[in-house]
Structure 1
Amino acid sequence: MRLIRGLYNISSAFSGCVATIGNFDGVHLGHQAILQQLKKQGEQHQLSTVVMMFEPQPREFFAPDQAPARLANMSEKLQDLASFGIDYVLCLPFNQKLRSMSADQFIQTILIDGLQIRHLIVGDDFRFGCDRTGDYQLLQSVGEQAGFSVEDTKTFELDGERVSSTRVRECLTANDLAAANKLLGRPYRMSGRIGYGRQLGRTIGVPTANVILQRNKLPMTVVYAVKAIEITVAACNESQALDRDGNIIAWQGIANIGVKPTVAGTPEPSLEVHIFDIDENLYGKRLSIEFCQKIREEQKFNGLDELKTAIGNDMKVARDFFS
């Protein structure tokens, strides 16, 4: 899969495509149904498949303080999309110019002139253009004259309820991990490169790996039992690292996701992972952290001694869970 940033970077060799447009935050079951249909249409038309998205997401542009936490950062999203065999991701900067573009201009400039669209898949509630004036009916009308077809996907439901990124986020906030995983169709995870933190964990005998999150908000603040899996990323494609015997490199541990109120108390989100029974330098490596079982809420303690005691209890709970 290839990432294209900006319409001007589309190659002249890029001729015709089937495409879909959306945020694809979390790539949940509803998104997966769209991606599977996109892949099917690409094979039928013998054309490249394109997922178009915006950065920042529109809600982050219009009201950054009120925008919800992302389920996945850009890197995680690209890795999930690549796993479905998508050919291209077109990421357009959502700025004042794009925000002011009329629906007709959007169709002509981006879909027709830019992508040379042949088939477009959109959600049944898709809106676009300045003041959200563009809709499925407009796309159909223009498409009939311009030579591209449009397909709307019906709402994807699970247990009688619409699957959405909002629902996944609500489940995580409520610490209903099982429900979130069901909507995602896989365990919820976060990934990032291990960087240098303040190394306070070492002073209390509990060294932690500081996972660089690349996100401004978190969907949850909690202590979890986790699996940490070493991964490698080439371009947009993620793969699990293997040892010399061909086994996946993975560990068990505990993770605090939040703002570290006892030792930091800043709004900057962090993911600190203590990995059990490991004697290895992880700095610079990339880990995927799979959340397995809630242990407790993140809380502020009266000093490092209380924190050390709590972490000891967390470790016992996690080891019991994994045993």
Structure 2
Amino acid sequence: MLRWRGLDEIPPDWGRCVLTIGVFDGVHRGHAQLIDRAVAAARRRDLPSVLMTFDPHPMEVVRPGSHPAQLTTLTRRAELVEQLGVDVFCVMPFTHEFMKLTPERYAHDLLVERLHVAEVVVGDNFTFGKKAAGTVPMLRDLGARFGFAVDGVALASQDDVTFSATYIRSCVEAGDMAAAEEALGRPHRVEGVVVHGDGRGRGLGFPTANIAPPVHSAIPADGVYAARFSVLGEGPELGPSAMAAVSVGTNPTFEGRDRTVEAYVLDADVDLYGQHVAVDFVERLRGMEKFDSVESLIAQMHRDADRTRELFADRS
């Protein structure tokens, strides 16, 4: 899959394409339906499919400080859409200048002059251009004027729940990993680099990987979770079925203040410092608790590890 960062990386001899546009944070089941539609349209037309997303999140530019919790990194987003058959992953820098484009200039300058779109596939709630004034009906009118087709796709839903990044963020924030997985089509993932913590876990017999996620990452509610654990890129080989009991919170038993994500990888004692890792959250085992003694905490950590093994045995 080709990856472009901005319009300057579009080849000068670039031909026509089928384009789908959106933030696509999470690449959830609703996004997958939209992307499948765009990929199918591209194949019918014998044209490449292009997915355009934005960085930073548009809300951070429109209203600084309002960046929503991020469900997927750009790298992860690219991996997921490639699996769905997208040919080109285009990251558009969302700047103040870009934000000020009128819907007409957005369609003519971006879609026609630069990307040469034959068809645009978007969700039926898609808006574009200055002050989000452009709508799908307006895009159809502009398409008729400039020579491209528009397919507005209804939002995917199930049991009266519309799949959206906002809904999934609320599930993650509540610690409802089953609902998040249902909407995403896979477990919610948090990535990050393993950094040095206070070393307390090893002293308790549970060496943990202290993970520093990127800014704005969607972190589940405080508690202890069963999760899959993997090392991204080159690093210790843990295999595809590595299990972890993951603590999210401030470690109240030790009067902690900083909120951390600490993963105890079951049946593996390897040096993970500096590694880029991923935690796929599967189920919340319990809330965060303050224990009266270290012995009580250790006993509960054993129970958490045992419950994690049982849970994955049931899922296999």
Same-fold status (TM-score > 0.5): yes
8 Å CA contact 1:230, 1:249 repeated in 2: no
Displacement, 1:311?
3.3
Contact map agreement 1:76 1:190 (CA 8 A) in 2 = no
2:262 is equivalent to residue 272 of structure 1: yes
Q: Supply the distance in 2 between the matched residues of 1:297 and 1:53 (Cα, whole angstroms).
A: 36
**Residue 90 of structure 1: how far off its partner (Å):** 1.2
Counterparts of residues 40-55 of structure 1 (less than 5 Å): 40-55=40-55
CA contact (8 A) 1:254 1:275 kept: yes
Partners of 1:71 and 1:258 lie apart in 2 by 19
Distance in 2 of aligned mates of 1:259 and 1:75: 29
TM-score between both structures, scaled by the size of structure 2: 0.87
Tell me how far apart the structure 2 counterparts of residues 103 and 300 of structure 1 sit (CA, whole Å): 54
SS in 2 for 1:183: helix
Contact 1:253–1:275 (8 Å) recurs in 2: yes
Worse-matched range after superposition: 57-66 or 295-304? 295-304
* Residue range with higher mean Cα deviation, 44-53 or 280-289: 280-289
- Stretches of structure 1 that go unaligned for 5 or more consecutive residues are 234-240
Q: 1:11 to 1:200 in 2, by over 3 A?
A: farther
TM-aligned CA deviation for residue 101 of structure 1 = 1.4
Distance 1:217 1:304 in 2: 31
Q: How far apart are the structure 2 equivalents of 1:223 and 1:229?
A: 18
**C-alpha offsets along residues 41-91 of structure 1, whole Å, 9 cap, x if unaligned?**
111111111111111111222334343311122222222111112111111
**Superimposed CA distance per residue, residues 174-221 of structure 1 (whole angstroms, 9 cap, x where no aligned partner):** 332222211112222233444444434223332112334223243422
Counterpart of 2:283 in structure 1 is 293
> What amino acid sits opposite 1:176 in the alignment?
D
1:75-120 CA distances to partner (integer Å, 9 max, x unpaired)? 2222211111211111111121111111111112211111111110
Matched, 1:133 2:133: yes
Shift of residue 288 of structure 1?
A: 3.1
**One-letter amino acid of the structure 2 residue matched with residue 228 of structure 1:** F
Q: Which residues of 2 match residues 162-311 of structure 1 at below 5 A?
A: 162-221=162-221, 222-232=223-233, 248-258=239-249, 262=254, 265-266=257-258, 270-299=260-289, 308=298, 310-311=300-301
CA contact (8 A) 1:6 1:91 kept: yes
Per the alignment, residue 37 of structure 1 pairs with 37
Partner of 2:308: 318
Residues 302 and 182 of structure 1: CA distance in aligned 2, closer, same or farther (over 3 Å): same
Kindly report which structure 2 residues correspond to 1:102-117, keeping only aligned pairs within 5 A, or say none.
102-117=102-117
Kept in 1, the 8 Å contact 2:192–2:211? The answer is: yes
> TM-score, normalised on structure 1?
0.85
Query: Distance in 2 between the 1:263 and 1:6 partners?
Result: 46
- Whether the 8 Å CA contact 2:28–2:184 is kept in 1: the answer is yes
Matching residue of 2:155: 155
| Identity between Structure 1 and Structure 2 (%) | 29
Give the stretch that moved more between structures: 57-66 or 4-13. Answer: 57-66
Contact 1:218 1:258 in 2 (8 A): no
Q: How does 1:9-20 map to 2 (within 5 A)?
A: 9-20=9-20
How many residue pairs end up in the alignment? 310
- After TM superposition, the structure 1 stretch with the greater mean CA deviation from structure 2, 197-206 or 37-46, is 197-206
- SS at 1:47 equivalent: coil
Counterpart residue type for residue 28 of structure 1: H
Distance 1:54 1:295, change over 3 A: same
Partners of 1:66 and 1:301 lie apart in 2 by: 36
Distance 2:298 2:189 in 1: 26
Q: Which runs of 5+ in 2 are unaligned?
A: none
Residue 238 of structure 1 is matched in structure 2 by none
Secondary structure of 1:224 counterpart: strand
Tell me whether 1:73 sits opposite 2:88 in the alignment: no
- Return the alpha-carbon distance in structure 1 between the equivalents of residues 193 and 87 of structure 2: 26
Moved over 6 A (4+): 301-306
